[in-house]
Amino acid sequence: MALPSWGSGCSTGASEAPQEIGSSQDPKGADATVTDRLVGFCLVAFSLLLFVYYTFWIVILPFIDSNYGIHQYFLPREFAVIIPVVAGLVLLLFIGIFIMVMMWKSRKPAQKSD
């Protein structure tokens, strides 16, 4: 019994190679990739900053005496639970609204029966 050839892959039958975003044949793609990379970098930097702040707030700050001035830059500890819970509920709300709108837009009009 012969083994399948792994090099063949899934072929669409197209003779030309797929066009990459930002190639010389797509001038708008070059601008989009620079913008996308900038937005992606900003999102990663914001996420890293938020992670470091939250980790320091929850893990390290309890071991520092409360009379040090570093405590003035952080909210009280109960907000460490309240903020993520509220953010999660808002995220679920937006996901639910998005699904509702997509289902509403994709529904077919009812046929009238005479």
Q: How many CB atoms lie within 10 A of CB 61?
A: 17
52-87 residue pLDDT tens: 999 999 999 999 998 989 999 999 989 999 999 999
Say which amino acid occupies 6: W
Query: How far are the Cα atoms of 9, 92, 113 from residue 99, in angstroms, in the given order?
Result: 35, 11, 30
26-50 residue pLDDT tens: 555 556 788 899 999 999 999 999 9
- Give the CA diameter of the chain: 80
Question: 50: closest CA among 88, 95, 83?
Answer: 83
pTM above 0.95, yes or no: no
Report the Cα–Cα distance between both ends of the chain, in Å, rounded: 63
Say which amino acid occupies 12: T
